[in-house]
Protein backbone atom coordinates (compact mmCIF):
# COMPACT_ATOMS: atom_id res chain seq x y z
CA UNK A 1 0.00 0.00 0.00
CA UNK A 2 2.74 2.43 1.02
CA UNK A 3 4.62 1.70 -2.19
CA UNK A 4 1.57 2.36 -4.30
CA UNK A 5 0.98 5.69 -2.68
CA UNK A 6 4.61 6.58 -3.20
CA UNK A 7 4.16 5.97 -6.89
CA UNK A 8 0.98 7.97 -6.90
CA UNK A 9 2.67 10.88 -5.23
CA UNK A 10 5.55 10.71 -7.69
CA UNK A 11 3.07 10.84 -10.57
CA UNK A 12 1.20 13.76 -9.10
CA UNK A 13 4.36 15.68 -8.37
CA UNK A 14 5.46 15.02 -11.93
CA UNK A 15 2.11 16.34 -13.14
CA UNK A 16 2.53 19.43 -11.07
CA UNK A 17 5.98 20.02 -12.37
CA UNK A 18 4.68 19.90 -15.91
CA UNK A 19 1.98 22.35 -15.07
CA UNK A 20 3.93 24.75 -12.90
CA UNK A 21 7.48 24.98 -14.23
CA UNK A 22 9.59 27.74 -12.77
CA UNK A 23 9.72 30.81 -14.94
CA UNK A 24 13.20 30.34 -16.24
CA UNK A 25 14.59 31.96 -19.33
CA UNK A 26 16.94 30.55 -21.88
CA UNK A 27 20.41 31.33 -20.65
CA UNK A 28 22.25 33.70 -22.93
CA UNK A 29 24.94 31.28 -24.08
CA UNK A 30 27.80 32.21 -26.35
CA UNK A 31 26.48 32.81 -29.85
CA UNK A 32 26.58 29.63 -31.87
CA UNK A 33 23.29 30.29 -33.64
CA UNK A 34 24.67 29.88 -37.15
CA UNK A 35 26.49 26.68 -36.32
CA UNK A 36 23.41 25.25 -34.61
CA UNK A 37 21.15 25.77 -37.61
CA UNK A 38 23.69 24.35 -39.99
CA UNK A 39 24.17 21.32 -37.79
CA UNK A 40 20.42 20.82 -37.52
CA UNK A 41 20.09 21.03 -41.30
CA UNK A 42 16.64 22.64 -41.19
CA UNK A 43 15.51 26.20 -40.76
CA UNK A 44 11.98 26.52 -39.44
CA UNK A 45 10.23 29.64 -40.73
CA UNK A 46 7.17 30.86 -38.86
CA UNK A 47 4.62 32.84 -40.81
CA UNK A 48 0.97 33.88 -40.83
CA UNK A 49 -0.25 32.94 -44.31
CA UNK A 50 -3.15 35.36 -44.60
CA UNK A 51 -1.26 38.22 -46.15
CA UNK A 52 -0.98 38.05 -49.92
CA UNK A 53 1.39 38.65 -51.67
CA UNK A 54 3.72 38.22 -48.66
CA UNK A 55 2.34 34.81 -47.66
CA UNK A 56 -0.93 33.07 -48.33
CA UNK A 57 -2.48 29.69 -48.97
CA UNK A 58 -2.87 28.45 -52.49
CA UNK A 59 -3.66 25.11 -54.00
CA UNK A 60 -0.50 23.85 -55.65
CA UNK A 61 -0.78 20.47 -57.40
CA UNK A 62 -3.97 19.76 -55.51
CA UNK A 63 -2.46 20.53 -52.11
CA UNK A 64 -2.99 23.58 -49.96
CA UNK A 65 0.44 25.19 -49.70
CA UNK A 66 1.92 28.35 -48.23
CA UNK A 67 3.24 30.54 -51.05
CA UNK A 68 4.24 34.17 -51.54
CA UNK A 69 7.23 36.44 -51.68
CA UNK A 70 8.24 35.77 -48.07
CA UNK A 71 8.34 32.05 -48.85
CA UNK A 72 10.70 32.78 -51.75
CA UNK A 73 12.87 34.80 -49.40
CA UNK A 74 12.83 31.98 -46.85
CA UNK A 75 13.86 29.50 -49.53
CA UNK A 76 16.76 31.68 -50.59
CA UNK A 77 17.91 32.20 -46.99
CA UNK A 78 17.81 28.45 -46.36
CA UNK A 79 19.62 27.72 -49.58
CA UNK A 80 22.39 30.19 -48.80
CA UNK A 81 22.77 28.61 -45.36
CA UNK A 82 22.91 25.17 -46.93
CA UNK A 83 19.88 23.87 -45.01
CA UNK A 84 16.30 22.81 -45.74
CA UNK A 85 13.39 25.17 -45.20
CA UNK A 86 10.38 24.10 -43.16
CA UNK A 87 7.35 26.38 -42.91
CA UNK A 88 5.17 26.57 -39.82
CA UNK A 89 1.90 28.48 -40.05
CA UNK A 90 0.41 30.28 -37.08
CA UNK A 91 -1.48 33.43 -36.24
CA UNK A 92 0.57 36.61 -36.52
CA UNK A 93 0.30 37.40 -32.82
CA UNK A 94 1.82 34.01 -31.87
CA UNK A 95 4.94 34.44 -33.98
CA UNK A 96 7.11 36.34 -31.51
CA UNK A 97 6.40 33.93 -28.63
CA UNK A 98 7.00 30.98 -30.93
CA UNK A 99 10.38 32.42 -31.89
CA UNK A 100 11.38 33.15 -28.32
CA UNK A 101 10.38 29.69 -27.12
CA UNK A 102 12.23 27.91 -29.92
CA UNK A 103 9.18 26.63 -31.81
CA UNK A 104 10.49 28.33 -34.91
CA UNK A 105 13.93 29.62 -35.93
CA UNK A 106 12.92 32.77 -37.76
CA UNK A 107 9.92 34.91 -38.66
CA UNK A 108 9.28 36.05 -42.20
CA UNK A 109 5.78 37.41 -42.20
CA UNK A 110 5.85 40.94 -43.54
CA UNK A 111 6.97 41.91 -40.05
CA UNK A 112 8.02 45.49 -39.38
CA UNK A 113 11.20 45.86 -37.31
CA UNK A 114 9.73 48.35 -34.81
CA UNK A 115 11.76 49.52 -31.80
CA UNK A 116 9.47 47.60 -29.41
CA UNK A 117 10.03 44.36 -31.28
CA UNK A 118 13.76 45.01 -31.53
CA UNK A 119 13.90 44.79 -27.76
CA UNK A 120 12.89 41.14 -27.92
CA UNK A 121 14.21 39.80 -31.20
CA UNK A 122 17.04 40.47 -33.65
CA UNK A 123 16.12 41.73 -37.11
CA UNK A 124 18.05 41.47 -40.38
CA UNK A 125 18.30 44.37 -42.79
CA UNK A 126 15.06 45.39 -44.45
CA UNK A 127 14.10 43.34 -47.52
CA UNK A 128 11.03 45.26 -48.60
CA UNK A 129 9.37 48.63 -48.10
CA UNK A 130 5.57 48.54 -48.13
CA UNK A 131 3.53 51.43 -46.72
CA UNK A 132 -0.08 51.32 -45.52
CA UNK A 133 -3.45 51.37 -47.24
CA UNK A 134 -7.00 50.90 -46.06
CA UNK A 135 -9.23 48.38 -47.82
CA UNK A 136 -12.91 49.35 -48.10
CA UNK A 137 -16.05 48.17 -49.89
CA UNK A 138 -16.07 49.62 -53.39
CA UNK A 139 -19.59 50.96 -52.87
CA UNK A 140 -18.20 53.26 -50.14
CA UNK A 141 -15.58 54.78 -52.36
CA UNK A 142 -17.15 58.22 -52.42
CA UNK A 143 -17.42 58.25 -48.63
CA UNK A 144 -13.86 57.44 -47.55
CA UNK A 145 -10.66 59.23 -48.54
CA UNK A 146 -8.18 58.22 -45.81
CA UNK A 147 -7.98 57.34 -42.09
CA UNK A 148 -9.71 60.56 -41.09
CA UNK A 149 -12.92 59.83 -43.01
CA UNK A 150 -14.04 57.01 -40.70
CA UNK A 151 -15.42 59.13 -37.84
CA UNK A 152 -18.34 57.31 -36.25
CA UNK A 153 -17.34 54.13 -38.04
CA UNK A 154 -15.13 51.12 -37.31
CA UNK A 155 -11.68 50.30 -38.64
CA UNK A 156 -10.23 46.81 -38.36
CA UNK A 157 -6.69 45.44 -38.29
CA UNK A 158 -4.91 42.23 -37.42
CA UNK A 159 -4.08 41.92 -33.71
CA UNK A 160 -0.44 42.22 -32.75
CA UNK A 161 0.41 44.27 -35.82
CA UNK A 162 1.69 47.79 -36.29
CA UNK A 163 -1.41 48.78 -38.22
CA UNK A 164 -3.52 47.76 -35.25
CA UNK A 165 -1.59 50.28 -33.16
CA UNK A 166 -2.06 52.80 -35.91
CA UNK A 167 -5.85 52.51 -36.09
CA UNK A 168 -6.02 52.73 -32.29
CA UNK A 169 -3.74 55.69 -31.83
CA UNK A 170 -4.00 57.69 -35.00
CA UNK A 171 -7.74 58.05 -35.49
CA UNK A 172 -10.32 60.15 -33.70
CA UNK A 173 -13.90 59.13 -32.93
CA UNK A 174 -13.31 55.90 -34.78
CA UNK A 175 -13.80 52.49 -33.22
CA UNK A 176 -11.05 49.96 -33.76
CA UNK A 177 -11.48 46.24 -33.93
CA UNK A 178 -8.71 43.64 -33.89
CA UNK A 179 -9.00 40.10 -35.22
CA UNK A 180 -6.34 37.40 -35.40
CA UNK A 181 -6.78 36.59 -39.05
CA UNK A 182 -6.57 38.92 -41.98
CA UNK A 183 -9.07 36.86 -43.98
CA UNK A 184 -11.63 37.21 -41.18
CA UNK A 185 -11.17 40.97 -41.29
CA UNK A 186 -11.93 41.00 -45.00
CA UNK A 187 -15.04 38.89 -44.41
CA UNK A 188 -16.15 41.27 -41.66
CA UNK A 189 -15.62 44.16 -44.06
CA UNK A 190 -17.72 42.50 -46.73
CA UNK A 191 -20.55 41.85 -44.32
CA UNK A 192 -20.33 45.52 -43.22
CA UNK A 193 -19.23 44.78 -39.65
CA UNK A 194 -16.24 46.96 -40.45
CA UNK A 195 -15.90 50.03 -42.63
CA UNK A 196 -12.25 49.58 -43.47
CA UNK A 197 -9.27 47.32 -42.84
CA UNK A 198 -5.76 48.69 -42.51
CA UNK A 199 -2.91 46.66 -43.97
CA UNK A 200 0.29 46.98 -45.98
CA UNK A 201 -0.23 48.41 -49.43
CA UNK A 202 0.87 45.34 -51.42
CA UNK A 203 -1.50 43.19 -49.40
CA UNK A 204 -4.34 45.65 -49.90
CA UNK A 205 -3.70 45.61 -53.63
CA UNK A 206 -3.68 41.81 -53.65
CA UNK A 207 -7.03 41.59 -51.88
CA UNK A 208 -8.52 44.20 -54.19
CA UNK A 209 -7.28 42.52 -57.35
CA UNK A 210 -8.72 39.25 -56.08
CA UNK A 211 -12.12 40.65 -55.23
CA UNK A 212 -14.11 43.05 -57.38
CA UNK A 213 -16.20 44.35 -54.49
CA UNK A 214 -13.22 45.84 -52.68
CA UNK A 215 -11.18 49.00 -53.14
CA UNK A 216 -8.06 50.43 -51.52
CA UNK A 217 -7.47 54.00 -50.35
CA UNK A 218 -4.33 55.60 -48.93
CA UNK A 219 -4.17 55.52 -45.14
CA UNK A 220 -2.25 58.70 -44.32
CA UNK A 221 -0.94 57.11 -41.15
CA UNK A 222 2.12 58.82 -39.82
CA UNK A 223 4.64 55.98 -39.65
CA UNK A 224 8.38 55.76 -39.19
CA UNK A 225 10.19 54.05 -42.04
CA UNK A 226 10.92 51.17 -39.64
CA UNK A 227 7.22 50.58 -39.23
CA UNK A 228 6.51 50.33 -42.93
CA UNK A 229 9.33 48.02 -43.95
CA UNK A 230 9.74 44.28 -43.56
CA UNK A 231 12.66 42.35 -42.13
CA UNK A 232 13.43 38.81 -40.95
CA UNK A 233 13.43 38.18 -37.20
CA UNK A 234 15.72 35.80 -35.32
CA UNK A 235 16.14 35.13 -31.62
CA UNK A 236 17.88 37.88 -29.73
CA UNK A 237 21.64 37.40 -29.62
CA UNK A 238 21.85 35.30 -32.81
CA UNK A 239 24.50 37.64 -34.16
CA UNK A 240 26.37 35.16 -36.34
CA UNK A 241 23.16 33.93 -37.95
CA UNK A 242 21.83 37.44 -38.54
CA UNK A 243 25.12 38.58 -40.05
CA UNK A 244 25.15 35.66 -42.43
CA UNK A 245 21.50 36.13 -43.46
CA UNK A 246 22.11 39.86 -43.94
CA UNK A 247 24.37 38.93 -46.84
CA UNK A 248 21.44 37.17 -48.49
CA UNK A 249 19.10 40.08 -47.77
CA UNK A 250 21.61 42.57 -49.19
CA UNK A 251 21.88 40.51 -52.35
CA UNK A 252 18.08 40.32 -52.67
CA UNK A 253 17.94 44.11 -52.44
CA UNK A 254 20.83 44.73 -54.76
CA UNK A 255 19.46 42.51 -57.49
CA UNK A 256 15.91 43.76 -56.88
CA UNK A 257 14.75 40.15 -56.60
CA UNK A 258 11.50 40.94 -54.78
CA UNK A 259 10.10 43.15 -57.56
CA UNK A 260 11.72 41.19 -60.35
CA UNK A 261 11.02 37.59 -59.34
CA UNK A 262 9.25 37.06 -56.04
CA UNK A 263 6.26 39.37 -56.43
CA UNK A 264 5.39 38.23 -59.96
CA UNK A 265 5.66 34.60 -58.83
CA UNK A 266 3.29 35.30 -55.94
CA UNK A 267 0.88 37.09 -58.27
CA UNK A 268 0.59 33.98 -60.39
CA UNK A 269 -0.77 32.02 -57.43
CA UNK A 270 -3.23 34.75 -56.60
CA UNK A 271 -4.91 34.32 -59.98
CA UNK A 272 -5.04 30.52 -59.97
CA UNK A 273 -6.25 30.62 -56.41
CA UNK A 274 -9.84 31.47 -57.27
CA UNK A 275 -10.47 28.54 -59.59
CA UNK A 276 -12.44 26.02 -57.56
CA UNK A 277 -13.95 27.18 -54.31
CA UNK A 278 -16.60 24.51 -53.85
CA UNK A 279 -16.52 22.85 -50.44
CA UNK A 280 -16.51 19.35 -51.95
CA UNK A 281 -13.21 20.22 -53.57
CA UNK A 282 -11.73 20.47 -50.07
CA UNK A 283 -13.03 17.17 -48.73
CA UNK A 284 -9.48 16.01 -48.04
CA UNK A 285 -8.77 18.94 -45.74
CA UNK A 286 -11.98 18.28 -43.81
CA UNK A 287 -11.19 14.55 -43.60
CA UNK A 288 -7.75 15.29 -42.14
CA UNK A 289 -9.45 17.64 -39.70
CA UNK A 290 -11.84 14.92 -38.52
CA UNK A 291 -8.96 12.47 -38.20
CA UNK A 292 -6.98 14.79 -35.93
CA UNK A 293 -10.00 15.84 -33.92
CA UNK A 294 -10.74 12.18 -33.21
CA UNK A 295 -7.10 11.34 -32.42
CA UNK A 296 -6.90 14.17 -29.91
CA UNK A 297 -10.25 13.32 -28.35
CA UNK A 298 -9.66 9.59 -28.00
CA UNK A 299 -6.12 9.99 -26.62
CA UNK A 300 -7.18 12.74 -24.22
CA UNK A 301 -10.16 10.79 -22.92
CA UNK A 302 -7.94 7.76 -22.38
CA UNK A 303 -5.16 9.60 -20.54
CA UNK A 304 -7.66 11.88 -18.85
CA UNK A 305 -9.41 8.83 -17.45
CA UNK A 306 -6.17 7.42 -16.02
CA UNK A 307 -5.20 10.78 -14.55
CA UNK A 308 -8.74 11.11 -13.23
CA UNK A 309 -8.63 7.77 -11.39
CA UNK A 310 -5.27 8.62 -9.82
CA UNK A 311 -6.47 12.04 -8.78
CA UNK A 312 -9.74 10.70 -7.39
CA UNK A 313 -7.92 8.11 -5.28
CA UNK A 314 -5.47 10.74 -4.11
CA UNK A 315 -8.32 13.05 -3.20
CA UNK A 316 -9.86 10.35 -1.06
CA UNK A 317 -6.66 9.34 0.68
CA UNK A 318 -6.99 9.58 4.45
CA UNK A 319 -4.64 8.74 7.27
CA UNK A 320 -1.06 9.79 7.92
CA UNK A 321 0.61 13.10 7.04
CA UNK A 322 1.79 11.70 3.77
CA UNK A 323 -1.70 10.83 2.62
CA UNK A 324 -3.03 14.16 3.78
CA UNK A 325 -0.39 15.93 1.71
CA UNK A 326 -1.37 13.81 -1.24
CA UNK A 327 -4.99 14.69 -0.82
CA UNK A 328 -4.15 18.33 -0.52
CA UNK A 329 -2.03 18.30 -3.67
CA UNK A 330 -4.69 16.52 -5.70
CA UNK A 331 -7.35 18.95 -4.51
CA UNK A 332 -5.15 21.91 -5.38
CA UNK A 333 -4.53 20.46 -8.82
CA UNK A 334 -8.20 19.92 -9.55
CA UNK A 335 -9.11 23.40 -8.34
CA UNK A 336 -6.33 25.03 -10.32
CA UNK A 337 -7.17 23.25 -13.57
CA UNK A 338 -10.86 23.94 -13.22
CA UNK A 339 -10.15 27.56 -12.40
CA UNK A 340 -8.09 28.39 -15.49
CA UNK A 341 -9.21 28.42 -19.14
CA UNK A 342 -8.25 25.40 -21.22
CA UNK A 343 -7.00 27.75 -23.92
CA UNK A 344 -4.41 29.16 -21.52
CA UNK A 345 -3.42 25.65 -20.45
CA UNK A 346 -2.89 24.62 -24.06
CA UNK A 347 -0.68 27.63 -24.72
CA UNK A 348 1.16 27.04 -21.48
CA UNK A 349 2.01 23.44 -22.29
CA UNK A 350 3.04 24.30 -25.84
CA UNK A 351 5.02 27.48 -25.24
CA UNK A 352 5.87 27.19 -21.54
CA UNK A 353 6.98 23.59 -21.48
CA UNK A 354 8.56 24.27 -24.85
CA UNK A 355 11.28 26.11 -22.97
CA UNK A 356 12.45 22.77 -21.56
CA UNK A 357 11.42 20.12 -24.04
CA UNK A 358 10.50 20.67 -27.64
CA UNK A 359 7.11 19.00 -27.88
CA UNK A 360 5.30 18.90 -31.21
CA UNK A 361 1.99 20.75 -31.28
CA UNK A 362 -0.13 17.59 -31.44
CA UNK A 363 1.60 16.07 -28.38
CA UNK A 364 1.31 19.33 -26.48
CA UNK A 365 -2.36 19.50 -27.34
CA UNK A 366 -3.02 15.96 -26.13
CA UNK A 367 -1.04 16.54 -22.92
CA UNK A 368 -2.86 19.77 -22.13
CA UNK A 369 -6.32 18.39 -22.83
CA UNK A 370 -5.61 15.16 -20.91
CA UNK A 371 -4.38 17.13 -17.91
CA UNK A 372 -7.46 19.27 -18.11
CA UNK A 373 -9.90 16.45 -18.61
CA UNK A 374 -8.27 14.47 -15.78
CA UNK A 375 -9.32 17.12 -13.29
CA UNK A 376 -12.97 16.90 -14.34
CA UNK A 377 -12.99 13.13 -14.62
CA UNK A 378 -11.50 12.90 -11.11
CA UNK A 379 -14.57 14.62 -9.78
CA UNK A 380 -16.95 12.30 -11.61
CA UNK A 381 -15.05 9.29 -10.34
CA UNK A 382 -14.95 10.58 -6.80
CA UNK A 383 -18.68 11.13 -6.94
CA UNK A 384 -19.16 7.65 -8.40
CA UNK A 385 -17.08 6.00 -5.71
CA UNK A 386 -18.84 7.90 -2.96
CA UNK A 387 -22.18 6.80 -4.37
CA UNK A 388 -21.36 3.14 -3.69
CA UNK A 389 -22.86 2.23 -0.33
CA UNK A 390 -20.27 2.10 2.44
CA UNK A 391 -21.88 -1.19 3.59
CA UNK A 392 -20.40 -2.87 0.52
CA UNK A 393 -16.89 -1.85 1.45
CA UNK A 394 -17.44 -3.02 5.01
CA UNK A 395 -18.78 -6.36 3.80
CA UNK A 396 -15.88 -6.89 1.42
CA UNK A 397 -13.37 -5.98 4.10
CA UNK A 398 -14.98 -8.36 6.58
CA UNK A 399 -14.67 -11.11 3.98
CA UNK A 400 -10.93 -10.57 4.17
CA UNK A 401 -10.40 -8.51 1.01
CA UNK A 402 -7.65 -5.92 1.22
CA UNK A 403 -8.38 -2.23 0.71
CA UNK A 404 -7.03 -2.39 -2.84
CA UNK A 405 -9.00 -5.52 -3.70
CA UNK A 406 -12.18 -4.01 -2.34
CA UNK A 407 -11.62 -0.97 -4.54
CA UNK A 408 -10.85 -3.01 -7.62
CA UNK A 409 -13.42 -5.77 -7.42
CA UNK A 410 -16.28 -4.29 -5.47
CA UNK A 411 -16.37 -0.50 -5.52
CA UNK A 412 -14.90 0.53 -8.89
CA UNK A 413 -17.07 -1.73 -11.11
CA UNK A 414 -20.21 -0.33 -9.52
CA UNK A 415 -18.88 3.19 -9.52
CA UNK A 416 -18.05 2.91 -13.21
CA UNK A 417 -21.67 2.16 -13.97
CA UNK A 418 -22.70 5.33 -12.15
CA UNK A 419 -20.15 7.56 -13.79
CA UNK A 420 -20.50 6.19 -17.30
CA UNK A 421 -22.98 8.87 -18.40
CA UNK A 422 -20.70 11.65 -17.13
CA UNK A 423 -17.71 10.08 -18.86
CA UNK A 424 -19.71 9.91 -22.05
CA UNK A 425 -20.54 13.59 -21.69
CA UNK A 426 -16.88 14.32 -21.19
CA UNK A 427 -16.05 12.51 -24.42
CA UNK A 428 -18.60 14.53 -26.35
CA UNK A 429 -17.44 17.76 -24.75
CA UNK A 430 -13.89 16.95 -25.77
CA UNK A 431 -14.85 16.34 -29.40
CA UNK A 432 -15.97 19.96 -29.40
CA UNK A 433 -13.42 21.49 -27.05
CA UNK A 434 -10.42 19.89 -28.71
CA UNK A 435 -10.91 22.61 -31.32
CA UNK A 436 -8.95 24.88 -28.98
CA UNK A 437 -5.67 23.30 -30.05
CA UNK A 438 -6.05 24.93 -33.45
CA UNK A 439 -4.43 27.97 -31.84
CA UNK A 440 -1.13 26.13 -31.56
CA UNK A 441 -1.41 24.90 -35.14
CA UNK A 442 -2.69 21.35 -34.69
CA UNK A 443 -4.34 20.51 -37.99
CA UNK A 444 -7.74 19.52 -36.58
CA UNK A 445 -11.12 20.48 -37.93
CA UNK A 446 -11.21 24.17 -36.99
CA UNK A 447 -7.68 24.66 -38.25
CA UNK A 448 -8.61 23.02 -41.56
CA UNK A 449 -11.69 25.17 -41.91
CA UNK A 450 -9.51 28.26 -41.45
CA UNK A 451 -7.23 27.03 -44.19
CA UNK A 452 -10.18 26.45 -46.48
CA UNK A 453 -11.49 29.91 -45.65
CA UNK A 454 -8.27 31.66 -46.50
CA UNK A 455 -7.83 29.46 -49.55
CA UNK A 456 -11.25 30.16 -51.01
CA UNK A 457 -11.96 33.61 -49.55
CA UNK A 458 -15.36 32.15 -48.60
CA UNK A 459 -16.45 32.95 -45.10
CA UNK A 460 -19.62 31.13 -44.23
CA UNK A 461 -19.58 27.90 -46.20
CA UNK A 462 -16.63 26.29 -44.34
CA UNK A 463 -18.23 27.21 -41.02
CA UNK A 464 -21.46 25.48 -42.02
CA UNK A 465 -19.53 22.42 -43.20
CA UNK A 466 -17.64 21.96 -39.94
CA UNK A 467 -20.75 22.63 -37.91
CA UNK A 468 -22.45 19.72 -39.64
CA UNK A 469 -19.34 17.55 -39.29
CA UNK A 470 -19.05 18.25 -35.56
CA UNK A 471 -22.69 17.43 -35.13
CA UNK A 472 -22.36 14.14 -36.98
CA UNK A 473 -19.43 13.19 -34.75
CA UNK A 474 -21.06 14.11 -31.45
CA UNK A 475 -24.40 12.61 -32.42
CA UNK A 476 -22.84 9.30 -33.47
CA UNK A 477 -20.75 9.22 -30.30
CA UNK A 478 -23.74 9.85 -28.09
CA UNK A 479 -25.74 7.07 -29.80
CA UNK A 480 -22.89 4.63 -29.26
CA UNK A 481 -22.45 5.67 -25.65
CA UNK A 482 -26.18 5.33 -25.01
CA UNK A 483 -26.11 1.84 -26.38
CA UNK A 484 -23.43 0.81 -23.89
CA UNK A 485 -25.18 2.60 -21.10
CA UNK A 486 -28.31 0.57 -21.71
CA UNK A 487 -26.28 -2.63 -21.88
CA UNK A 488 -24.71 -1.84 -18.53
CA UNK A 489 -28.07 -1.28 -16.92
CA UNK A 490 -29.07 -4.81 -17.92
CA UNK A 491 -26.03 -6.48 -16.36
N1 LIG B 1 3.51 44.58 -41.11
C2 LIG B 1 2.63 44.43 -40.04
C3 LIG B 1 3.36 44.22 -38.73
O4 LIG B 1 4.51 43.91 -38.72
C5 LIG B 1 1.65 43.30 -40.22
C6 LIG B 1 2.14 42.07 -40.87
C7 LIG B 1 1.09 41.01 -40.94
N8 LIG B 1 1.63 39.84 -41.54
C9 LIG B 1 0.95 38.72 -41.77
N10 LIG B 1 1.58 37.76 -42.35
N11 LIG B 1 -0.29 38.60 -41.49
O12 LIG B 1 2.83 44.39 -37.67
Cβ contact 445:435 at 8 Å: yes
| Rounded average pLDDT over 214-231 | 92
Task: Find the domain containing 136 and state its range.
Answer: 132-222
Share of the chain above pLDDT 90, in %: 65
Residue 148's CATH number: 3.40.190.10
CA-nearest residue, atom 1 of ligand 1: 111
Question: Is the domain of 340 the same as that of 361?
Answer: yes
Pairing of strands 121-129, 229-235: antiparallel
Q: What is the mean pLDDT of the chain?
A: 89
Same domain, 238 and 204: no
Residues 339 and 485 grouped into a single domain: yes
Residue 160's nearest CA partner among 93, 230, 110 is 93
Among protein residues, the one whose CA lies closest to atom 5 of ligand 1: 161
> Which atom of ligand 1 is nearest to 111's Cα?
4
**Residues 314 and 450 placed together within one structural domain of the fold:** yes
Smallest CA-to-CA distance from 64 within 465, 385, 447, 371 is with 447
Let me know whether 150 and 254 are in one domain.
Answer: no
Q: CB under 6 Å to ligand 1: residues?
A: 48, 50-51, 54-55, 92, 109-112, 158, 161-163, 182, 200
pLDDT band at 467 (very low <50, low <70, confident <90, very high): very high
Which residue has the CA at smallest separation from atom 4 of ligand 1?
Answer: 111
Question: In the structure, what pLDDT confidence band is assigned to residue 7 with cuts at 50, 70 and 90?
Answer: low
Q: Which ligand 1 atom minimizes the distance to the CA of 161?
A: 12
Q: From the CA of 50, give the closest atom in ligand 1.
A: 11
| CATH number reported for the structural domain that contains residue 376 in this entry | 1.10.3720.10
Mutation to probe ligand 1, out of 52, 92, 118, 224 (largest number of atoms < 8 A from CB): 92
| Cβ-contact 155, 256 below 8 angstroms | no
Expressed in angstroms and rounded, the spacing between residue 109 Cα and the centre of ligand 1 is 6
Over residues 459-481, mean pLDDT: 93
Q: Looking at the structure, tell me whether residues 109 and 138 fall in a common domain.
A: no
Per-residue pLDDT band at 26 (split at 50, 70, 90): very low
Identify whether residues 361 and 460 lie together within a single domain.
Answer: yes
Q: What global pTM score does this model have?
A: 0.78
Rounded to whole angstroms, the Cα distance separating 365 from 373 reads 12
Q: Among 273, 307, 336, give the residue marking a domain's end.
A: 273
**Residue 20 domain-assigned (yes or no):** no
Say how many domains are in the chain: 3
Is residue 194 located within the same domain as residue 295? no
Kindly report the CA angle at 35 between 34 and 37, in degrees rounded to 5? 70
Distance 203 CA to ligand 1 centre (A): 10
Distance CA 112, CA 124 (A): 11
405 Cα: distance to centroid of ligand 1 (angstroms)? 61
Same domain, 264 and 283: no
CB-CB neighbours of 278 under 10 Å:
10
Ligand 1 atom closest to the Cα of residue 200 is 1
Same domain as 160, residue 71: no
Up-side HSE of residue 34: CA atoms within 13 Å toward CB?
Answer: 12
Residues 74-105: tens digit of each pLDDT: 999 999 999 999 999 988 999 999 999 999 99
Amino acid sequence: MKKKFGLLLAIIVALFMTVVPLGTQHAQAADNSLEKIQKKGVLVMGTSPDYPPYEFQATVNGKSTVVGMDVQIGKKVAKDLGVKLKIKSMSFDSLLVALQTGKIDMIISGMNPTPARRKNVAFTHVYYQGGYDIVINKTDKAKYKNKDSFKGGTLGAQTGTTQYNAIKKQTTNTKSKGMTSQSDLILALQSHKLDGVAMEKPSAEAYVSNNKQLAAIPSNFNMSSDATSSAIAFRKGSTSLVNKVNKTVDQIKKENLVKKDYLPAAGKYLKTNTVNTSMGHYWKAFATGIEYTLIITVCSVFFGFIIGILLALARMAKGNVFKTALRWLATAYVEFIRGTPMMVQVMFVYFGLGLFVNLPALTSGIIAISLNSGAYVAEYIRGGINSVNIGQTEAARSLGMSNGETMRYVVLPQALKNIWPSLGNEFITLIKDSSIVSIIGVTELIYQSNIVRSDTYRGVAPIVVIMVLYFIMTFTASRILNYFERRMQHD
